[in-house]
Structure 1
């Protein structure tokens, strides 16, 4: 992990940047266009959106207007709960691609398992088809717990390449991370900064002062040293730049452990077992 373009290799050989921009709750229109452009200008090559975010068109516009060749970018979007199922996922994918204005996608994720629906296996079959058809370079899931993954692994033809979950020092999900490693599934963090909820944390401030970095930079560096892909969200160009300024230092093992010990299994997002929004 030498710089912003450093990548991890997924189990199918595709290279995915360790670091990217998330655009959850970034408004469609100029806000998302400017954020994505600022990130690409700062050297980011990975952009993560979702159908439910309502800003795929803006992401597509920013990509089209950037000076970086499409093949150098890694674009992720996700199928929403209401579109789960085989045929409906195929339709949702086409809709997302139309909005993004892309010929192919780098990573497509099932946004939530939604156990009550019990459709994620059918949805996964649709992702496998799109992958085999060459429309997507990698496929994965989001917010899957161990038992959802075990269930999917029993029947899937192609195992997920990525599991994107809520992950930060208050929610380290150690056993899930271990399970993903054992099964060659790359863990990816959403809400790595706990939506700003960790900025006053004394231990993190102490460590930040020691390394002469911000609390955000310490957390994001902790993600990377734990081999977790991370996609912090920001709409401010200076913050987008600052978040990425984490490749010139290394956190000691002792301090890594101090950060990990802040875990309280505390979520800011929904528990995947309870998520039933459509």
Structure 2
């Protein structure tokens, strides 16, 4: 893989870019092409999708069309996808193969279990642990075969991570969870650091709610930056990779401009003081 800009070293020995394009809700071949083109132009070299986003095929097609235009090859980009909760357990192998087929790839750089539960089962269903254990064993097989260069999980709590770390043959490379100033996830981050797992953020903007937070806006005004840039930079200064998403090319470009400024210690402290455990996305804490 050629230079991808600022990156984090995973426990597999591979480098993952610190900033990737999140593609949740990105739909339609034309819009996908436009956004991926803007992202590659802005320097993005990582793209995050999932089976449940229903855009793997469109992202794969866009990258195949656009990489030559930008003088890039498959090895120059880092692609992440995720197992659908409906494929948890016995259907995991089919789900993994489907993602490879939809993306049109021989391998995926990082593949995650998207959710600790199983679609169609109650969060308290005792079969949830067995299903995710079976899914993880399947991901380990794909990793051994070289089809998934790295494997990990998303939306796992401390309890889910401890359970996995006790039984896995391959230690997860990445844990991807909601992370922003109002949800600092200190216990999870400490567990990841102790276990050699990369802690990665999604929903850094709090589904957009944090863009209007008075503290965030005050810091942004003082820095001469957008609130989104401030929120993303807050994570990066804690060595947490981020996945900003937007369907607007201008925002895609703005969200990549994160390495030519720093937040002061006082601004970092003011933002971190917002932590109150507030979640804006899925809450996995009830999944047994």
Q: TM-score range by the shorter chain?
A: over 0.9
Once the two structures are superposed, residues 127-152 of structure 1 have per-residue CA deviations (whole angstroms, 9 ceiling, x without a partner) of: 11000101111100000111101001
Cα deviations by residue, 1:112-134 (Å, 9 ceiling, x for unpaired): 11163221111000011000101
Q: Where does residue 29 of structure 1 map in the other structure?
A: 29
Q: Could you tell me how far apart the structure 2 residues matched to 1:181 and 1:90 are?
A: 30
Give the aligned partner of residue 197 of structure 1. Answer: 209
**Other-structure match for 1:45:** 45
Aligned with residue 96 of structure 2, among 93, 97, 120: 93
Deviation at 1:33, TM superposition (A): 2.4
Query: Which runs of at least 4 in structure 1 moved beyond 6 Å after TM superposition?
Result: none
Deviations 1:58-102 (A, max 9, x none): 1001110112211010000000111011x5211111111111011
- For structure 1, list consecutive stretches of 5 or more residues without a partner in the other structure: none
Residues 1:221 and 2:233 aligned together: yes
**TM-score (norm. length: structure 2):** 0.92
Q: Distance in 2 between matches of 1:155 and 1:246?
A: 38
Gap regions ≥5 residues in structure 2:
118-122
What's the C-alpha RMSD, in Å, of the aligned pairs? 1.5
- 1:60 alignment partner in structure 2: 60
Q: Does 1:71 align with 2:75?
A: yes
Question: Cα deviation per residue 1:203-223 (whole Å; 9 max; x = unaligned)?
Answer: 111111111111100010111
Q: Contact between 2:4 and 2:77, CA under 8 Å: does it hold in 1?
A: no
CA contact (8 A) 1:164 1:190 kept: yes
Whether the aligned pair in 2 keeps the contact of 1:4 and 1:244 (CA below 8 Å) is no
How far 1:253 sits from its partner (Å)?
1.7
CA-to-aligned-CA distance 1:16-51 (integer Å, 9 cap, x gap): 000010011111322222212211121100000000
Q: TM-score, normalised by structure 1?
A: 0.95
